[in-house]
Every structure is written in C-alpha cells, then in structure tokens.
Amino acid sequence: MTVYDEAFEWYASHWDPTMAVGDWWAEIAESGWGYPFWPVGRFGRGLSHAQALEADRARDDVAAFGPPSGIGVTLVAPTLFEHGPDQLLDRYLDKIVSGEELWCQLFSEPGAGSDLAGLRTAAVSDGDEWIVNGQKVWTTGAHAAHRAVLMARTNPEVPKHRGISFFCMDLDQEGVEVRPLRDMTGDCEFNEVFLDDARVAADDAIGGLHNGWRPAMTMLAVERDLDAVGHDGGGDVVNAVDLTTPVGQVQAEQQRGADISGFSYTTGSVKDQVVADLLAAVDRSDPVLRQAMAAARIEREVLDWNGARQVNPSLGKLANSALCRSLRDLGFRGRQMEAQLGRADAPDGGRFLKTALFTQGMSIAGGTDEIQRNLLGERQLGLPKEPDPTKGTAFKDLPT
C-alpha cells in the first residue's frame, strides 16, 4: 500500500466534521498523519518530505481539516528536533500539536534592524532563572500567543554572535507587555513586546546557554524554506481558535477567509487563489492581461520547482517575493479601480486588497531580499564579504 493509499484510508475512516476541533487535532496528532515527516515517537511517521506531500494530498482529497500549523509547529518544533534538548520536546510538544498553545518569535529589535546579532535585550542570571529586560518589535501573533522563543544576550563579554541564548518563554507573566501594531491592511497581527524583569528558566535554553545563535539561524532557515516553496504561513493559526468549536465550522470559516486563520488570506499559496477568484469574471481578451497572467503562472511553476528540489531557500524566498508582487499587479490590472475597494463593497469582500497591501511585507519578513542576495553572493558564488572592523570585539565594547 502506498503512502497516499494508507493516509487516504485513515482520513476517510476518521474524518468527522462534527468533532470539536481540539479533539480532531489530538486525534490527527496521535495518528502521526498530522506531521508525517516528524520522527516516529514525536507525533510523526519518519517519512520523507515527498512522502509527506502525498499524505497531505490524501487529506485534501478527503476534504479533511488539517492540523495546527502556526509558528510552534512550523518553526519551534523543527528547531527543537535539531538542537534539543529532549526535555524541551517533552515539555512543550504535546500542547503545540494539540493547538492548546500558540507561539511567537521574539527576534527583531528597534535598534538592531537586520543586524540580528546586534540585539540588546539582556538576560541576567538569578539562580535557576534569568531576568530579561529589553524590547522586541514586529512580533507576529504575540497578541494571541501563550509562549515565545526569545533571543537574549546572556554574555556581553564575547563577540556579538556569541553569548546569545535562545529561550522558550512563558508570555503569561508580569513583566511582559504586548502592544499591537496596526498595519496598513487594517489588522493588528504584528506587535511590539516590552520585557521588564521578565523571567525565563535556565533549562529552557534551546541548544544550551550562550549557544543561541545556531538554533536561531536554524529557525530562520526553516522559515525561509517555507517561503521558498511559496507556502509562507498559508495555514497558520495566528489568532486563537476555540477548541470546542466543531471542526467543520472552523474549516468553513477558514475557507471564507475569516480572521481565525490570521494571514492565510494574504500569504502562502492561498494568495494565488485570492487573485484567481478576483479575476474569475474578467474579460480575457486583453493580450497584455493574458501575458501578465501567463507570467504569474510561470513564476508559480518556477517557485514550486525550486521548493520540490530544495535548490536554495534564498532563491525560493526571492522568487516568492517576486510572485507576490506579480499577483498584486495582476489583480490591480485585471479589476482596476474595483480592486482598490477594501470592505463589503469590494468584488471579493476586500480579500485581494489585504493581499496586495501585505505584499511588500513578504520581501522583508524572514530576512529582506537584500539579505537573501548577500547570502547567495557570499555562500553560493563565493564573493567576498564586506570588511567588518569590529570582528572579534566583545559586544560590550561595540560602538552604539
């Protein structure tokens, strides 16, 4: 029996849209079909990514609702699998796969920009805990998250890429203040987070204390891999879901583009469908429009080809950013003034306009297009790096 047949048989015999979404997520996780490429014994079946795609295709053919796919699933779990320790997987994985706990990333800072190693959020040891002070910004989903992964400086006496720890952190505590940031789509999915004597446990450090740069880079690589196949958060649950709601109801709301699924209407492969729906009734006699539609389709095929072969995540991320821009321009060209409507008076209820407005963010999130080109130039083409006169300088001695 093929992977597809086995997965189809399981989904066909277990899918029940009347189940509570929490019960369905628990059942799909225990079966191993929710995340089949994860390790056996860790809610997975140890399958290859190609085989996992076949299992996902079987789920789609049954029309069953998928598992949670927020940051905890897509980024935190893969990083823990690679860097551990196992006690953190034991501590957090159950509630990640059940959808009980949402996660966010406390990475970017107002004063560091793209220089992630220049972060100034500091943690000071206090027995079995570390006391954290600092500020993070552009944190997706922090308004709904229960936990976060936090980059904090634990040793300023060494160069800036060292002396960083990567903690798992409870956000429900005194000393953590989350302030939503409204973007031009009208949503508040981004946040700034202030840490004022917040606490993290010493044994919650991914990869060990003072060794946070490597696991943080692993997490960014995983994020870029998702962008490289054009499925950048397409099913992410950014906002909390009521786990007692019938799963079929949640599925129907998500298909309508409801806000329960966060950015799913603006990113990921869903953006292709948003534009296709907008242009469904458009006259295709205009040769310029037809050419633009063909060009966007070619960009999608190239993106899928790169993702399937895992050629290079930076190439894929650049291709995804380009596809987002092409789809944005295509929608505006096809529906013109109508596409600029953003409420109930819009042809599609405003879904496309949100997609279009969020497009530029895709060339920034997870590392800007400029950073991706630097990575390709230095790591693939062997071009020399820019000189760094501060290389080897202890962080505390760096100019501010």
User: What is the average per-residue pLDDT within 210-234?
Assistant: 78
pTM value? 0.88
Strand duo 147-153 + 103-106: pairing: parallel
Asked if 351 and 265 touch (Cβ cutoff 8 Å), the reply is: yes
Confidence bin at 302 (pLDDT 50/70/90): confident
Confidence category of residue 1, pLDDT binned at 50, 70, 90: confident
- pLDDT number for residue 350: 85
What gap in Å lies between CA 149 and CA 136, rounded to an integer? Answer: 12
Q: Is pLDDT at 61 greater than 90 in this prediction?
A: yes
Look up residue 226 and give its amino acid. L
Q: What is the rounded distance in angstroms from the CA atom of residue 348 to the CA atom of residue 353?
A: 9
Q: Which residues of 93-127 are buried (b: 16+ CB within 10 A; e: fewer)?
A: beebbbbbbbbbbbbbbeebeeebbbbbbbbeeee
From the list 192, 357, 344, 346, the residue with the least C-alpha distance to 267 is 357
Dist CA 305 CA 65 (whole Å): 26
Which tokens belong to 276?
């296709």
- Reported as a pLDDT band with limits 50, 70 and 90, residue 311 is confident
CB 185 within 8 A of CB 266: yes
Task: Check: CB of residue 162 under 8 Å from CB of residue 210.
Answer: yes
Q: Residue 41 corresponds to which amino acid?
A: G
Antiparallel, parallel or unpaired: β 129-136 and 164-170: unpaired
pLDDT of residue 268: 61
Tokens for 162, please give them.
Answer: 């060292």
Longest dimension (CA), the chain: 72
Paired with 59 in beta bridges are: none
At 151 the pLDDT is 98
Closest CA to 244 of 78, 343, 103, 99: 99
What 3-state DSSP class applies to 193? strand
370 as an active site residue: the answer is no
Q: Evaluate the omega torsion of the peptide bond into residue 85 and state whether it is cis, within 30 degrees of 0.
A: yes
Domains defined along the chain, listed by start: 3-65 (no CATH), 101-214 (2.40.110.10), 247-367 (no CATH)
Query: Highest-confidence range of 12-16, 64-68, 188-192, 239-243, by mean pLDDT?
Result: 12-16
- The answer to whether residue 263 scores a pLDDT higher than 50 is no
- Which of 118, 195, 17 is CA-nearest to residue 398? 118
Work out the end-to-end distance of the chain between its first and last CA atoms, rounded to an integer number of angstroms: 62
pLDDT at 228 (0 to 100)? 62
* Cβ-proximal residues to 269 (8 Å cutoff; 6+ apart), any chain: 230, 231, 234
Pick from 244, 226, 214: which is nearest to 116 by CA?
214
Residue 229: predicted pLDDT: 62
Report which of residues 356 and 268 the model is more confident about: 356
| Residue recorded with tokens 């920009």 | 113
| The predicted structure's pLDDT at residue 257 | 56
Q: Average pLDDT for residues 130-141, to the nearest whole number?
A: 95
- Using CA atoms, how far apart are residues 248 and 304, in angstroms rounded to an integer? 29
d(CA 88, CA 146): 16
pLDDT of amino acid 254: 72
Single out the catalytic residue among 6, 223, 253, 386.
223
Least confident of 29-38, 141-150, 264-273, 369-378: 264-273
Which of 93-102, 192-201, 310-319, 364-373 is least confident?
A: 310-319
Kind of pairing, strands 103-106 and 176-181?
A: unpaired
